Amino acid sequence: MIQANIIGTGSYAPDKILTNFDIEKMVDTSDEWIKTRTGISERRIAGVKEACSDLAVKASKKALKQARIKANDIDLILVATATPDMLFPSTACMVQLGIGAKNAFAYDLSAACSGFIYGLSVAEQYIKNQRYKTILLIGSEIFSRITNWNDRSTCVLFGDGAGAVVIRAEKVRKKEGILSTHLHSDGHYHDLLFVPGGGSRIPISEKMINEKKHFIKMKGNETFKIAVRFMVNAAKEAISYNGYAIEDVNLIIPHQANKRIIDAVAKKLRLPKEKVFVNLMKYGNTSAASIPLALDEAVWEKQIKKNDIILLTAFGAGFTWGSALIKWSLDS
């Protein structure tokens, strides 16, 4: 059978570190309050000359190196992002240019923090349908550009970064690689987490900017409750679909939104802390980049070994949510 296997991972975080103590000087908050409420200690901020595609290119080159393939081997480039370089062309086309992937076609996906799992599902279908063999999937975000740094309810949460994976079609005797993906959305919740301005509904104007409608708006309490429920349900769906029990999961990599959300999800799934990968204390919420960035760190920290069952679950604006179950095929 043909399976979609992850054969390389890579990530990139900008050099600039913004600590909670730095944010204390910007808004009425404290390091203790931020850590208690979010689990975040610091986050990375892109340089003034860095765009979303720049972060994506750096993560992609690392993934290609680990996969031991050349850019010209790539058939498709998918970029999951809510903060593209520009409205068009796609950020994926800029990545294609940046890595020299002359034989690939490229496009973006927009599913906010669920974007990487949505991208995994798209890549899996292309490969299992035997349409394409080698796909580069990237989650890349520069949320610092759409964050209101005077709004203490949101500015403490977000950071910039990118993560990438190379996915390849491989003939196998037993199921491995991406076992399944499960996607959901519900537009009824669109106004709980959104950026109202800058699109066709509220175009760019002096009035729009003065009203700060180009920044993230979030109703945190409502979002928290729904996020936990949807992430848990999606995780259970992936486990049940593949005939596994929660005890069979070796590691869960949830979207790195908030430590309290992650803890609540783990508790409801009855997963011990040692099976839950967390790195948001260093990066904050990097939206579509959070899972691939965390996955790459887990690989390099040797927290993932061959044949491990890896569970991914995410939740984002839309609302969108989803999960993926992977049987890891790479040697550690």
Question: Per the residue annotation, which of 52, 93, 113, 155 is the catalytic one?
Answer: 113
Query: Rounded to the nearest 5°, which phi and psi values hold at 233?
Result: -60, -40
CA 286, CA 228: separation in Å to the nearest integer? 18
Q: Clarify whether 188 is annotated catalytic.
A: no
CA 180, CA 327: separation in Å to the nearest integer? 10
First CA to last CA distance, the chain: 24
Q: Clarify whether 182 is annotated catalytic.
A: no
Burial of 138: CB neighbours in 10 Å, binned 0-12, 13-18, 19+: buried
CA 291, CA 288: separation in Å to the nearest integer? 7
C-alpha closest to that of 108 among 138, 142, 63: 138
Burial of 11: CB neighbours in 10 Å, binned 0-12, 13-18, 19+: buried
Question: Per the residue annotation, which of 52, 93, 255, 258 is the catalytic one?
Answer: 255
C-alpha closest to that of 263 among 253, 273, 255: 273
| Catalytic residue numbers, as ranges | 113, 255, 285
